[in-house]
Protein backbone atom coordinates (compact mmCIF):
# COMPACT_ATOMS: atom_id res chain seq x y z
CA UNK A 1 0.00 0.00 0.00
CA UNK A 2 2.58 2.53 1.03
CA UNK A 3 5.92 3.24 -0.53
CA UNK A 4 8.63 1.86 1.71
CA UNK A 5 11.61 4.13 1.77
CA UNK A 6 14.38 4.02 4.35
CA UNK A 7 13.20 7.07 6.21
CA UNK A 8 9.44 6.84 5.96
CA UNK A 9 7.41 7.70 9.04
CA UNK A 10 7.18 5.00 11.67
CA UNK A 11 3.82 3.35 11.94
CA UNK A 12 2.10 3.76 15.28
CA UNK A 13 1.72 0.62 17.38
CA UNK A 14 -1.78 -0.08 18.63
CA UNK A 15 -3.18 -2.14 21.44
CA UNK A 16 -1.72 -2.52 24.89
CA UNK A 17 1.11 -0.34 26.06
CA UNK A 18 3.55 -3.16 26.60
CA UNK A 19 7.21 -3.42 25.66
CA UNK A 20 8.38 -6.70 24.25
CA UNK A 21 11.65 -8.53 24.12
CA UNK A 22 13.72 -7.73 21.04
CA UNK A 23 13.46 -10.42 18.38
CA UNK A 24 16.62 -12.54 18.27
CA UNK A 25 16.67 -12.74 14.51
CA UNK A 26 17.65 -9.58 12.73
CA UNK A 27 16.16 -9.40 9.29
CA UNK A 28 16.22 -6.43 6.97
CA UNK A 29 17.16 -2.89 7.82
CA UNK A 30 14.17 -2.37 10.09
CA UNK A 31 14.84 -5.38 12.25
CA UNK A 32 18.43 -4.41 13.05
CA UNK A 33 18.98 -3.82 16.70
CA UNK A 34 20.91 -0.93 18.14
CA UNK A 35 22.55 -0.32 21.47
CA UNK A 36 20.54 2.67 22.61
CA UNK A 37 17.11 4.07 21.69
CA UNK A 38 16.23 7.56 22.83
CA UNK A 39 12.64 8.76 22.57
CA UNK A 40 11.90 12.46 22.20
CA UNK A 41 8.19 13.14 22.80
CA UNK A 42 7.10 16.36 21.16
CA UNK A 43 4.10 18.56 20.98
CA UNK A 44 4.53 21.92 19.28
CA UNK A 45 8.30 21.89 19.34
CA UNK A 46 8.93 22.93 15.73
CA UNK A 47 11.20 25.74 16.95
CA UNK A 48 13.35 23.34 19.01
CA UNK A 49 13.44 20.08 17.15
CA UNK A 50 16.19 20.89 14.65
CA UNK A 51 18.56 22.07 17.30
CA UNK A 52 18.02 19.20 19.69
CA UNK A 53 18.41 16.60 16.96
CA UNK A 54 21.60 18.25 15.83
CA UNK A 55 23.05 18.33 19.36
CA UNK A 56 22.02 14.79 20.24
CA UNK A 57 23.31 13.34 16.99
CA UNK A 58 26.70 14.94 17.26
CA UNK A 59 26.98 13.85 20.90
CA UNK A 60 25.89 10.27 20.29
CA UNK A 61 27.66 9.83 16.95
CA UNK A 62 30.86 10.38 18.79
CA UNK A 63 30.07 8.45 21.97
CA UNK A 64 28.36 5.44 20.43
CA UNK A 65 29.69 5.38 16.91
CA UNK A 66 26.18 5.57 15.46
CA UNK A 67 24.98 2.53 17.36
CA UNK A 68 21.82 4.31 18.48
CA UNK A 69 18.55 5.73 17.24
CA UNK A 70 16.52 8.82 18.04
CA UNK A 71 12.77 8.39 17.92
CA UNK A 72 10.67 11.53 17.74
CA UNK A 73 7.07 10.81 18.73
CA UNK A 74 4.94 13.78 17.78
CA UNK A 75 1.22 14.08 18.42
CA UNK A 76 0.40 15.64 15.08
CA UNK A 77 1.47 19.08 16.28
CA UNK A 78 -0.31 21.93 14.51
CA UNK A 79 3.06 23.64 14.05
CA UNK A 80 4.20 20.66 11.99
CA UNK A 81 6.93 19.41 14.36
CA UNK A 82 6.73 15.95 12.83
CA UNK A 83 7.24 17.37 9.35
CA UNK A 84 10.28 19.35 10.40
CA UNK A 85 11.66 16.27 12.13
CA UNK A 86 10.93 14.10 9.14
CA UNK A 87 12.72 16.48 6.81
CA UNK A 88 15.80 16.11 9.03
CA UNK A 89 15.90 12.36 8.73
CA UNK A 90 17.70 12.52 5.37
CA UNK A 91 20.53 14.34 7.03
CA UNK A 92 20.49 12.24 10.21
CA UNK A 93 20.00 8.57 9.37
CA UNK A 94 19.75 7.69 13.07
CA UNK A 95 16.57 9.71 13.34
CA UNK A 96 13.15 8.06 13.10
CA UNK A 97 9.86 9.90 13.33
CA UNK A 98 6.39 8.83 14.43
CA UNK A 99 3.33 10.97 13.82
CA UNK A 100 0.43 10.02 16.08
CA UNK A 101 -3.02 11.09 15.04
CA UNK A 102 -5.31 8.90 17.07
CA UNK A 103 -3.74 9.04 20.49
CA UNK A 104 -2.42 11.85 22.61
CA UNK A 105 -0.47 12.43 25.77
CA UNK A 106 3.09 12.49 26.95
CA UNK A 107 3.24 9.13 28.69
CA UNK A 108 1.69 7.11 25.93
CA UNK A 109 3.92 8.90 23.40
CA UNK A 110 7.00 7.70 25.26
CA UNK A 111 5.71 4.15 25.52
CA UNK A 112 4.73 4.00 21.83
CA UNK A 113 8.23 5.18 21.03
CA UNK A 114 9.79 2.45 23.15
CA UNK A 115 7.54 -0.10 21.48
CA UNK A 116 9.14 0.53 18.10
CA UNK A 117 12.61 0.97 19.61
CA UNK A 118 15.30 -1.52 18.69
CA UNK A 119 17.70 -0.82 21.53
CA UNK A 120 18.56 -2.78 24.66
CA UNK A 121 18.80 0.50 26.50
CA UNK A 122 15.77 2.78 26.31
CA UNK A 123 15.60 6.43 27.23
CA UNK A 124 13.53 9.58 27.15
CA UNK A 125 14.42 13.25 26.94
CA UNK A 126 12.27 16.36 26.50
CA UNK A 127 12.30 17.94 23.05
CA UNK A 128 12.56 21.52 24.29
CA UNK A 129 16.23 21.56 25.36
CA UNK A 130 15.31 21.93 29.01
CA UNK A 131 17.15 18.68 29.67
CA UNK A 132 20.87 19.26 29.06
CA UNK A 133 21.97 16.67 26.47
CA UNK A 134 25.47 16.07 27.83
CA UNK A 135 23.98 14.47 30.98
CA UNK A 136 23.05 11.59 28.67
CA UNK A 137 26.58 10.29 28.64
CA UNK A 138 26.67 10.08 32.42
CA UNK A 139 23.31 8.33 32.43
CA UNK A 140 24.56 5.84 29.86
CA UNK A 141 27.65 5.27 31.94
CA UNK A 142 25.53 4.46 35.00
CA UNK A 143 23.64 1.83 33.06
CA UNK A 144 26.89 0.35 31.85
CA UNK A 145 27.99 0.19 35.48
CA UNK A 146 25.05 -2.07 36.23
CA UNK A 147 22.07 0.15 37.00
CA UNK A 148 18.69 -0.95 35.64
CA UNK A 149 17.48 2.63 35.70
CA UNK A 150 19.43 5.91 35.55
CA UNK A 151 17.52 9.05 36.40
CA UNK A 152 18.55 12.65 35.83
CA UNK A 153 17.65 14.45 39.04
CA UNK A 154 17.14 18.09 39.94
CA UNK A 155 17.37 17.32 43.61
CA UNK A 156 20.95 16.13 43.91
CA UNK A 157 23.90 18.27 44.84
CA UNK A 158 24.77 19.40 41.33
CA UNK A 159 21.15 19.59 40.24
CA UNK A 160 18.48 22.28 40.42
CA UNK A 161 15.91 24.37 38.64
CA UNK A 162 16.99 27.59 37.06
CA UNK A 163 14.42 30.28 37.57
CA UNK A 164 11.30 28.76 39.03
CA UNK A 165 9.18 31.00 41.20
CA UNK A 166 8.06 30.06 44.67
CA UNK A 167 4.67 28.75 43.57
CA UNK A 168 6.10 26.38 41.02
CA UNK A 169 8.69 25.05 43.46
CA UNK A 170 6.00 24.67 46.09
CA UNK A 171 3.65 22.78 43.75
CA UNK A 172 6.43 20.52 42.58
CA UNK A 173 7.54 19.67 46.11
CA UNK A 174 3.95 19.40 47.32
CA UNK A 175 3.24 16.88 44.58
CA UNK A 176 6.25 14.89 45.67
CA UNK A 177 5.23 14.86 49.33
CA UNK A 178 1.72 13.77 48.41
CA UNK A 179 3.20 11.00 46.31
CA UNK A 180 5.43 9.91 49.14
CA UNK A 181 2.42 9.54 51.37
CA UNK A 182 0.37 7.60 48.86
CA UNK A 183 3.11 5.55 47.27
CA UNK A 184 6.26 5.55 49.40
CA UNK A 185 7.49 2.34 47.80
CA UNK A 186 7.73 4.05 44.42
CA UNK A 187 8.48 7.71 45.05
CA UNK A 188 10.81 6.95 47.92
CA UNK A 189 13.25 5.21 45.63
CA UNK A 190 14.51 8.28 43.79
CA UNK A 191 15.24 11.88 44.74
CA UNK A 192 13.37 13.29 41.72
CA UNK A 193 10.39 11.06 40.93
CA UNK A 194 8.98 13.79 38.66
CA UNK A 195 11.91 13.56 36.29
CA UNK A 196 11.10 13.10 32.63
CA UNK A 197 14.74 12.44 31.76
CA UNK A 198 16.00 8.89 32.34
CA UNK A 199 17.36 5.69 30.81
CA UNK A 200 16.58 2.08 31.57
CA UNK A 201 17.37 -1.42 30.50
CA UNK A 202 14.72 -2.87 28.26
CA UNK A 203 14.83 -6.08 30.30
CA UNK A 204 13.63 -4.15 33.36
CA UNK A 205 10.35 -3.28 31.73
CA UNK A 206 9.70 -6.15 29.30
CA UNK A 207 6.23 -7.65 29.68
CA UNK A 208 4.81 -5.01 32.01
CA UNK A 209 1.63 -3.38 30.78
CA UNK A 210 2.01 0.33 31.30
CA UNK A 211 -0.72 2.83 31.90
CA UNK A 212 -0.87 6.10 29.98
CA UNK A 213 -2.53 8.18 32.71
CA UNK A 214 -0.56 11.17 33.80
CA UNK A 215 2.54 13.03 32.78
CA UNK A 216 4.92 11.10 34.98
CA UNK A 217 6.07 8.08 33.08
CA UNK A 218 8.92 7.45 35.53
CA UNK A 219 6.40 6.50 38.25
CA UNK A 220 4.94 3.95 35.92
CA UNK A 221 8.36 2.48 35.17
CA UNK A 222 9.35 2.20 38.83
CA UNK A 223 5.89 1.04 39.91
CA UNK A 224 5.36 -1.65 37.30
CA UNK A 225 8.81 -2.50 36.06
CA UNK A 226 11.28 -4.89 37.58
CA UNK A 227 13.84 -2.36 38.68
CA UNK A 228 16.76 -3.44 40.83
CA UNK A 229 19.59 -0.97 41.02
CA UNK A 230 18.85 2.70 40.41
CA UNK A 231 21.44 5.41 39.69
CA UNK A 232 20.93 9.15 39.71
CA UNK A 233 22.78 11.96 38.01
CA UNK A 234 22.28 15.60 38.99
CA UNK A 235 21.27 18.15 36.37
CA UNK A 236 19.95 21.67 36.17
CA UNK A 237 16.56 22.01 34.51
CA UNK A 238 17.19 24.79 31.98
CA UNK A 239 14.74 27.52 31.05
CA UNK A 240 12.78 27.13 27.87
CA UNK A 241 13.94 29.33 25.02
CA UNK A 242 11.36 28.46 22.38
CA UNK A 243 7.76 27.30 22.52
CA UNK A 244 5.82 26.82 25.71
CA UNK A 245 5.20 24.26 28.43
CA UNK A 246 2.14 22.05 28.06
CA UNK A 247 1.63 21.67 31.78
CA UNK A 248 -1.85 22.77 32.90
CA UNK A 249 -3.89 22.24 36.05
CA UNK A 250 -5.16 19.05 34.47
CA UNK A 251 -1.76 17.48 34.96
CA UNK A 252 -2.11 17.90 38.71
CA UNK A 253 -5.43 16.11 38.71
CA UNK A 254 -4.04 13.40 36.45
CA UNK A 255 -1.05 13.03 38.71
CA UNK A 256 -3.21 12.28 41.73
CA UNK A 257 -5.31 9.89 39.68
CA UNK A 258 -2.14 8.21 38.53
CA UNK A 259 -0.85 7.75 42.08
CA UNK A 260 -4.10 6.15 43.09
CA UNK A 261 -4.16 3.78 40.13
CA UNK A 262 -0.61 2.71 40.81
CA UNK A 263 -1.26 2.21 44.47
CA UNK A 264 -4.25 0.02 43.73
CA UNK A 265 -2.56 -2.15 41.18
CA UNK A 266 0.74 -2.52 42.97
CA UNK A 267 -1.42 -3.69 45.84
CA UNK A 268 0.91 -2.41 48.49
CA UNK A 269 -1.64 -0.54 50.54
CA UNK A 270 -4.87 -2.40 49.98
CA UNK A 271 -5.97 -2.15 53.61
CA UNK A 272 -6.54 1.58 53.87
CA UNK A 273 -9.28 2.41 51.48
CA UNK A 274 -10.01 6.06 51.54
CA UNK A 275 -10.89 7.22 48.00
CA UNK A 276 -8.52 10.16 47.91
CA UNK A 277 -9.16 11.05 44.28
CA UNK A 278 -12.88 11.30 44.84
CA UNK A 279 -12.37 13.27 48.00
CA UNK A 280 -10.21 15.82 46.19
CA UNK A 281 -12.76 16.19 43.42
CA UNK A 282 -15.48 16.54 46.01
CA UNK A 283 -13.45 19.27 47.71
CA UNK A 284 -12.94 21.14 44.45
CA UNK A 285 -16.64 20.98 43.71
CA UNK A 286 -17.33 22.30 47.19
CA UNK A 287 -15.02 25.19 46.49
CA UNK A 288 -16.91 25.99 43.30
CA UNK A 289 -20.06 26.04 45.43
CA UNK A 290 -18.57 28.79 47.58
CA UNK A 291 -18.23 31.00 44.53
CA UNK A 292 -21.74 30.22 43.33
CA UNK A 293 -23.12 30.97 46.77
CA UNK A 294 -21.27 34.30 46.90
CA UNK A 295 -22.35 35.34 43.41
CA UNK A 296 -26.02 34.54 44.00
CA UNK A 297 -25.97 36.24 47.37
CA UNK A 298 -24.59 39.32 45.69
CA UNK A 299 -27.24 39.26 42.95
CA UNK A 300 -30.08 38.92 45.43
CA UNK A 301 -28.95 40.91 48.39
CA UNK A 302 -26.69 43.71 47.21
CA UNK A 303 -28.29 47.20 47.32
CA UNK A 304 -27.17 47.78 43.73
CA UNK A 305 -29.01 44.64 42.57
CA UNK A 306 -32.24 43.15 44.00
CA UNK A 307 -31.57 44.10 47.64
CA UNK A 308 -33.67 41.27 49.12
CA UNK A 309 -33.35 40.60 52.87
CA UNK A 310 -30.19 38.76 53.91
CA UNK A 311 -31.69 35.56 55.31
CA UNK A 312 -33.98 35.01 52.36
CA UNK A 313 -31.10 35.70 49.96
CA UNK A 314 -28.83 33.32 51.80
CA UNK A 315 -31.34 30.47 51.78
CA UNK A 316 -31.68 30.80 48.03
CA UNK A 317 -27.97 31.20 47.36
CA UNK A 318 -27.19 28.25 49.61
CA UNK A 319 -29.66 26.08 47.75
CA UNK A 320 -28.32 27.17 44.37
CA UNK A 321 -24.84 26.22 45.58
CA UNK A 322 -26.13 22.81 46.64
CA UNK A 323 -27.67 22.31 43.19
CA UNK A 324 -24.40 23.37 41.60
CA UNK A 325 -22.44 20.95 43.77
CA UNK A 326 -24.80 18.11 43.13
CA UNK A 327 -24.56 18.65 39.39
CA UNK A 328 -20.76 18.52 39.34
CA UNK A 329 -20.50 15.69 41.79
CA UNK A 330 -22.92 13.66 39.73
CA UNK A 331 -21.17 14.19 36.42
CA UNK A 332 -17.60 14.30 37.72
CA UNK A 333 -16.80 13.20 41.27
CA UNK A 334 -19.05 10.15 41.15
CA UNK A 335 -19.46 9.89 37.40
CA UNK A 336 -18.71 6.16 37.36
CA UNK A 337 -21.48 5.43 39.85
CA UNK A 338 -23.93 7.87 38.28
CA UNK A 339 -23.43 6.25 34.88
CA UNK A 340 -24.86 3.01 36.24
CA UNK A 341 -27.97 4.72 37.56
CA UNK A 342 -28.84 7.38 35.05
CA UNK A 343 -32.64 7.42 35.03
CA UNK A 344 -34.05 10.76 36.08
CA UNK A 345 -35.81 9.23 39.09
CA UNK A 346 -32.56 7.81 40.31
CA UNK A 347 -30.89 11.16 39.82
CA UNK A 348 -33.65 12.93 41.68
CA UNK A 349 -33.32 10.49 44.55
CA UNK A 350 -29.61 11.16 44.75
CA UNK A 351 -30.25 14.86 44.65
CA UNK A 352 -32.69 14.71 47.57
CA UNK A 353 -30.31 12.61 49.63
CA UNK A 354 -27.48 14.97 48.83
CA UNK A 355 -29.60 17.92 49.89
CA UNK A 356 -30.51 16.42 53.23
CA UNK A 357 -26.98 15.28 53.98
CA UNK A 358 -25.61 18.72 53.18
CA UNK A 359 -28.17 20.35 55.45
CA UNK A 360 -27.19 17.99 58.23
CA UNK A 361 -23.60 18.93 57.43
CA UNK A 362 -24.48 22.55 57.97
CA UNK A 363 -25.95 21.79 61.39
CA UNK A 364 -22.84 19.79 62.26
CA UNK A 365 -20.74 22.72 61.06
CA UNK A 366 -22.42 25.13 63.45
CA UNK A 367 -22.24 22.66 66.34
CA UNK A 368 -18.55 21.97 65.92
CA UNK A 369 -17.80 25.65 65.51
CA UNK A 370 -19.39 26.33 68.86
CA UNK A 371 -17.80 23.38 70.59
CA UNK A 372 -14.30 24.17 69.37
CA UNK A 373 -14.68 27.86 70.00
CA UNK A 374 -15.92 27.41 73.56
CA UNK A 375 -13.85 24.46 74.71
CA UNK A 376 -10.73 24.20 72.56
CA UNK A 377 -9.46 27.29 70.77
CA UNK A 378 -10.93 30.68 71.46
CA UNK A 379 -10.47 31.87 67.89
CA UNK A 380 -13.50 31.97 65.63
CA UNK A 381 -11.58 31.57 62.37
CA UNK A 382 -9.49 28.62 63.42
CA UNK A 383 -12.57 27.05 64.98
CA UNK A 384 -14.46 27.66 61.74
CA UNK A 385 -11.71 26.04 59.68
CA UNK A 386 -11.86 22.95 61.85
CA UNK A 387 -15.65 22.91 61.64
CA UNK A 388 -15.53 23.22 57.84
CA UNK A 389 -13.00 20.40 57.59
CA UNK A 390 -15.11 18.07 59.72
CA UNK A 391 -18.30 18.98 57.87
CA UNK A 392 -16.58 18.40 54.50
CA UNK A 393 -15.45 14.95 55.55
CA UNK A 394 -18.93 14.22 56.86
CA UNK A 395 -20.56 15.42 53.65
CA UNK A 396 -18.19 13.42 51.56
CA UNK A 397 -18.32 10.21 53.51
CA UNK A 398 -22.06 10.07 54.03
CA UNK A 399 -22.76 11.01 50.43
CA UNK A 400 -20.31 8.38 49.28
CA UNK A 401 -22.05 5.75 51.36
CA UNK A 402 -25.63 6.87 50.77
CA UNK A 403 -26.12 9.05 47.72
CA UNK A 404 -23.61 7.52 45.35
CA UNK A 405 -23.43 4.10 46.78
CA UNK A 406 -20.28 2.53 45.44
CA UNK A 407 -20.83 -0.76 47.16
CA UNK A 408 -24.00 -1.29 45.18
CA UNK A 409 -22.36 -1.37 41.79
CA UNK A 410 -19.92 -4.05 40.91
N1 LIG B 1 3.98 13.54 22.04
C2 LIG B 1 3.65 14.39 23.03
N3 LIG B 1 2.36 14.48 23.43
N4 LIG B 1 4.61 15.13 23.62
C5 LIG B 1 4.26 15.97 24.61
C6 LIG B 1 2.93 16.11 25.06
C7 LIG B 1 1.93 15.31 24.42
O8 LIG B 1 0.74 15.36 24.75
N9 LIG B 1 2.90 17.04 26.05
C10 LIG B 1 4.16 17.45 26.21
N11 LIG B 1 4.98 16.83 25.33
C12 LIG B 1 6.43 16.98 25.18
C13 LIG B 1 6.88 18.41 25.00
O14 LIG B 1 6.88 18.78 23.64
C15 LIG B 1 8.27 18.35 25.58
O16 LIG B 1 9.20 17.86 24.65
C17 LIG B 1 8.13 17.35 26.72
O18 LIG B 1 7.03 16.55 26.38
C19 LIG B 1 7.93 18.02 28.07
O20 LIG B 1 6.79 18.85 28.05
P21 LIG B 1 6.80 20.31 28.69
O22 LIG B 1 5.45 20.86 28.46
O23 LIG B 1 7.97 21.06 28.21
O24 LIG B 1 6.93 19.91 30.23
P25 LIG B 1 7.71 20.68 31.39
O26 LIG B 1 8.90 21.39 30.88
O27 LIG B 1 6.77 21.49 32.18
O28 LIG B 1 8.09 19.43 32.32
C29 LIG B 1 9.13 18.58 32.00
O30 LIG B 1 10.02 18.55 33.06
C31 LIG B 1 9.62 17.88 34.20
C32 LIG B 1 10.66 17.95 35.27
O33 LIG B 1 11.81 17.25 34.93
C34 LIG B 1 8.65 17.18 31.64
O35 LIG B 1 9.75 16.45 31.10
C36 LIG B 1 8.23 16.42 32.79
O37 LIG B 1 8.00 15.06 32.37
C38 LIG B 1 9.31 16.47 33.82
O39 LIG B 1 8.88 15.76 34.92
MN1 LIG C 1 9.65 21.68 29.08
73-124 pLDDT tens trace: 999 999 999 999 999 999 999 999 999 999 999 999 999 999 999 999 999 9
Half-sphere exposure for 219 (CA within 13 Å, toward CB): 31
Residue ranges of the chain whose pLDDT lies below 50: 1-4, 26-29, 269-270, 407-410
Residue 90's pLDDT is 92
Atom of ligand 1 nearest to the CA of 126: 16
Q: What is the pLDDT of residues 135-176, one digit of tens each?
A: 999 999 999 999 999 999 988 877 777 677 777 777 777 788
Residues at CB less than 6 angstroms from ligand 1? 41-43, 45, 73-75, 104-106, 109, 126-128, 130, 194-196, 215, 237, 245-247
Which pLDDT does position 176 carry in this prediction? 81
Angle between helices 249-266 and 276-301 (to 10 degrees): 150
Between CA 195 and CA 178 the distance in angstroms is 16
Q: Which ligand minimizes its atom distance to the CA of 113?
A: 1
* Ligand 2 center from residue 137 Cα (angstroms): 20
pTM of model > 0.85: no
Ligand nearest to the CA of 155: 1
Closest Cα to atom 8 of ligand 1:
105
- What is the C-alpha to C-alpha distance for residues 317 and 312, in angstroms, rounded to an integer? 9
Instruction: Give me ligand 1 centre to Cα 106, in Å.
Output: 6
67 Cα–ligand 2 center, Å: 27
Give the distance from CA 335 to its chain's centroid.
20
Predicted pLDDT at 265: 83
Atom 32 of ligand 1: nearest residue by CA position: 195
d(CA 53, CA 35): 18
CA of 117 to the centre of ligand 1 (A): 20
CA of 198 to the centre of ligand 2 (A): 15
Task: Tell which atom from ligand 1 comes closest to the C-alpha of 152.
Answer: 33
Residue with the nearest Cα to atom 21 of ligand 1? 245
Best residue for ligand 1 mutational test, from 43, 49, 168, 193 (most atoms within 8 Å of Cβ): 43
Amino acid sequence: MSIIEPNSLLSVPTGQLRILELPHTTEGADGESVYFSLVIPTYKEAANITKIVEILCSLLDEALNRDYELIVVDDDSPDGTWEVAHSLSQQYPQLRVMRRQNERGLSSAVIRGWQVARGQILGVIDGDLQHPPDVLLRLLHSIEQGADLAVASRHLEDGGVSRWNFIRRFLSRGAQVLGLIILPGVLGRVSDPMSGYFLLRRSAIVGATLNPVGYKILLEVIGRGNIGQIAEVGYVFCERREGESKVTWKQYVDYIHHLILLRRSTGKFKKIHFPIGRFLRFGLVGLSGVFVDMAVLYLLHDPTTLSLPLTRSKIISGEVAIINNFFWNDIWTFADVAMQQREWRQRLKRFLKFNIICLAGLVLNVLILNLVYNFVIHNAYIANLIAIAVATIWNFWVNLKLSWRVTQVK
